[in-house]
Structures are given as C-alpha cells and as structure tokens.
C-alpha cells in the first residue's frame, strides 16, 4: 500500500514538473511570436528619401524577429508634435523608438523625459546641447566628411581653381547638426580657392522650390546639402530657371538619381540610408534584449555618383535600395 502511495506521489510530481515545463515553453513561444515592438518617427515619413532607410528597417526587423511600425508624419514636425508622438508610441506599448530628432533647444531633455524607460535610438542627427549631458545612441553618416568630399569633387572638376566662381548653398534645417556639419565640411575645403559664397539659405518644405531659387542672385554653382534641397534645385534646373548654375549635392532618393541621370545634377554624394535603417533597428533590438548592452556606433558609408558611373554594379545596388 505504501509502495503504491509512493508511486502515485512520484507520478504526480513528474506530471506537475511536465506541466510547468510545458507552460514555460508555451509562454516563451508566445513571447517569441509577439517579439519586441519598435516604432519609428521621422519627419515626412512618406517622402521617397526614406525608401532605402525603410527597406533597411524591414530587413533588420525580419532578421531580429521584431515588429516594426513607421509612424505617419507630415512634411514638417515640431518639437511639440514629436513629443506627442513619442508619448503616443510609449503608451501603445513600444519597447523601443527610433527617432529623427527635431532641431531645437532642449531636444535631449525632451527626449529623455518623454521616452521614460523606453529604449531610444537616434538617426540622422545627434542633438547638440552643451548644457545637457544626456547621451543617446545614434546611427548617422559622417555629415562633415560628406560636405568635405562634395567640395573636393567640385575642386577636382576645375583643377583646384575656383577663382571668380560664385556659389549658393541650399540646405534643409538650418539648426540641425547635420546641416551645420555638412556646410562646415564643404566651406572649409573651399578656403583660399577663390570661390565666393554669395548666399546660403534654407529650403523649407512650404516653399515652392522653383520660385524660391529663381529669386536668388545668379551663381555659377548651387550646392544642395540634403535630399529635399537637391530635388528642389533639380526641378528648377530642369525648368531652365537656375540661370545655368551647375548643381552639386547630397541626396538619397530616386528623384536625386533621376536629376543626375538627366544632367541637371553634376555630382551626387549618396549616404547609405539602407544601412542607417538596418543598423539602427539591429542595435536598438540588441539594447532592448540586454539591459547592459553597450551600443555600437556603426560606420555609415557614402557613394560618389556621376552620370557616367551610374550603372556600375556598386551604384546599382545602392539605387536598388532606394526603389524599394
């Protein structure tokens, strides 16, 4: 009798252990199926300049088995609007948020306060705030280097001598770290070359590109330091309203490539936005998964494109990511 009782207790214990193990496996599988939720907030989210970036996000989300959602935004995004979107995504259960920070004072403080315990990854810009010691992981190309290499390409085309040549510089957000760094890289190379910068201005989303540039003083070159500025300049040149100015610029959309192919743009520096998307999501997923994870800062490359080298294999691969 005692032997049977012991056997019964042993069987109960084994069955109980099996139930616990089965429940643990089911819970783990459920969590794996759900994965982490990562939201992405960038300005003008439907703009084609984000195509390669979105493709990189998609590939990384599949590799890391996480859910990724692009938050729909308008052509402009204020700090207050960005704050509201971060609060919204945090409330909706996002484990992490990839953010293109809006330029402005106290951006770092706003991001830290609003995001709370949610992991944050910045792309494109690292907010500059000397009084705020908060640091966020960031994935971005070397903006200074891209501005520098663009100027070097211009100098190469004219034998290093730009004596008497007039330039106009067009950029996106005037207070953004990327715009400041790109212009600094470009202008430092042009020192003592004889070039004169006649004007430097911002292409705002609400301005019509053709009218905006048509009213500017005539120059020999228009230097467009971001994709929106470059496509605006390309449209103006295509309509013969740029007074014969030659365009050199930085861009990452199929429109930018189109204007290069048609001859409206002479030289195009293209940041690898696919890798910005892929690396930012991969790093953020790693950070969510391990609380002690030390974020890496991936190197983001760029490509120098001209009409004559558009169809080389390396450039076609870059263009492919833009068309997804």
pTM attached to this predicted model: 0.87
DSSP 3-state of 171: strand
Q: Which CATH architecture has domain 143-271?
A: 3-Layer(aba) Sandwich (3.40)
β-pairing, 196-202 vs 67-70, is unpaired
Residue 99's contacts (CB-CB under 8 Å, 6 or more residues apart) are 40, 41, 42, 82, 86, 111, 120, 121, 122, 123
Does residue 217 contact residue 161 with C-beta atoms inside 8 Å?
Answer: no
Indicate where the chain has its CATH 3.40.50.2300 domain(s).
34-140+274-299, 143-271
The yes-or-no verdict on residue 3 having pLDDT over 90 is: no
Band (127; pLDDT cuts 50, 70, 90): confident
Quote the radius of gyration of the chain (alpha carbons, Å): 25
pLDDT score for 21: 61
Question: Cα separation of 79 and 169, whole Å?
Answer: 26
Q: What is the pLDDT of residues 167-191, one digit of tens each?
A: 999 998 777 889 999 999 999 999 9
Q: What is the pLDDT of residues 183-226, one digit of tens each?
A: 999 999 999 999 999 999 986 544 455 677 888 999 999 999 99
β-pairing, 302-305 vs 265-271, is antiparallel
- Per-residue pLDDT, averaged over 117-130, amounts to 83
DSSP 3-state of 223: strand
**Tell me: domain 34-140+274-299, CATH 3.40.50.300, correct?**
no
Q: What is the pLDDT of residues 79-100, one digit of tens each?
A: 999 999 999 999 999 999 999 9
Q: For 307-315, which contacts have Cβ atoms below 8 Å and span 24 or more sequence positions?
A: 307/260, 307/261, 307/263, 310/257, 310/260, 310/261
Q: Cα–Cα distances in Å, from 304 out to 87, 141, 152, 177, 257? A: 39, 14, 11, 22, 11
Higher-pLDDT residue of 240 and 67 is 67
Question: Cα separation of 318 and 270, whole Å?
Answer: 9
How is residue 203 annotated by DSSP? -
How is residue 48 annotated by DSSP? G
Does residue 209 contact residue 203 with C-beta atoms inside 8 Å?
Answer: yes
Q: What is the pLDDT of residues 30-73, one digit of tens each?
A: 444 458 999 999 999 999 999 999 999 999 999 999 999 999 99
pLDDT score for 27: 45
- Per-residue pLDDT, averaged over 111-125, amounts to 92
Q: What are phi and psi of 249, to 5 degrees?
A: -165, 180
Mean pLDDT score across all residues of the chain: 88
Question: Cα separation of 186 and 191, whole Å?
Answer: 9
pLDDT score for 116: 87
Nearest to 119 by CA among 147, 95, 88: 95
The per-residue b/e assignment along 107-143, b for 16 or more CB within 10 angstroms, e otherwise, is bbebbeebbeebbbbbbbbbbeeeebeeebbbbbbbb
């Amino acid at each position: 009798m005692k032997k049977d009782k012991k056997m019964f207790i042993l069987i109960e214990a084994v069955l109980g252990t099996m139930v616990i193990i089965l429940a643990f496996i089911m819970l783990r599988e459920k969590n794996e199926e759900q994965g982490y939720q990562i939201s992405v907030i960038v300005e003008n989210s439907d703009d084609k300049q984000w195509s390669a970036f979105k493709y990189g996000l998609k590939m990384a989300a599949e590799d890391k088995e996480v859910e990724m959602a692009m938050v729909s935004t308008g052509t402009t995004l204020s700090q207050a609007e960005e704050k509201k979107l971060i609060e919204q995504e945090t409330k909706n259960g996002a484990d992490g948020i990839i953010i293109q920070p809006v330029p402005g004072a106290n951006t770092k403080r706003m991001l830290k306060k609003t995001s709370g315990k949610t992991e944050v990854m910045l792309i494109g810009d690292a907010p500059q705030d000397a009084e705020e010691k908060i640091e966020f992981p960031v994935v971005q190309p070397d903006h200074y280097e891209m501005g520098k290499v663009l100027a070097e390409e211009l100098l190469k085309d004219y034998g290093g001598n730009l004596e008497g040549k007039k330039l106009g510089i067009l950029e996106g957000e005037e207070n953004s770290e990327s715009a400041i760094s790109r212009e600094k890289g470009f202008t430092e190379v042009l020192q003592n070359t004889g070039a004169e910068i006649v004007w430097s201005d911002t292409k705002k989303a609400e301005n019509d590109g053709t009218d905006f540039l048509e009213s500017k003083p005539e120059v020999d070159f228009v230097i467009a330091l971001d994709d929106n500025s470059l496509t605006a300049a390309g449209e103006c040149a295509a309509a013969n309203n740029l007074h014969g100015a030659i365009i050199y610029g930085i861009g990452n959309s199929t429109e930018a490539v189109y204007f290069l192919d048609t001859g409206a743009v002479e030289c195009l520096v293209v940041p690898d936005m696919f890798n910005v998307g892929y690396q930012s999501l991969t790093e953020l997923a790693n950070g969510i998964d391990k609380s002690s994870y030390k974020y890496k800062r991936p190197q983001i490359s760029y490509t120098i494109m001209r009409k004559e080298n558009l169809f080389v294999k390396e450039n076609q691969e870059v263009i492919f990511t833009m068309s997804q």
